[in-house]
Amino acid sequence: MKCIYCKNEIPTSSKFCMCCGKRVIVCPACQYGPLPMVAVYCPNCGKKPVEKPENENSNMTTQKTVR
């Protein structure tokens, strides 16, 4: 499959691109991919390709922890 970032050919079901080092997502259900990190649902089967639950380690969201 081709990396969505650098368009280089990388091994199927790679979690990281070996050319540019960026994270790529492959749907665990149907092996469709690669998908961008922003993909919430697989466009092929409709399931969530992201492994991590959103409740855990939600550092990406802008949480205002004002103390």
Are the beta carbons of 42 and 48 closer than 8 angstroms?
yes
Burial 30-56 (b: 16+ CB within 10 A, else e): eebbbbeeebeebeeeeebbbeeeeee
| Total interface residues for Zn ion by CB under 5 A | 13
CB of 53 to Zn ion, least distance (A): 18
Q: Residue from 3, 25, 26, 35 that binds Zn ion (CB under 5 A)?
A: 3
Query: For residues 4-63, which are near Zn ion according to CB under 5 A?
Result: 5-6, 17, 19-20, 27, 29-30, 32, 42, 44-45
- Provide the binding-site residues for Zn ion, judged by CB under 5 A: 3, 5-6, 17, 19-20, 27, 29-30, 32, 42, 44-45
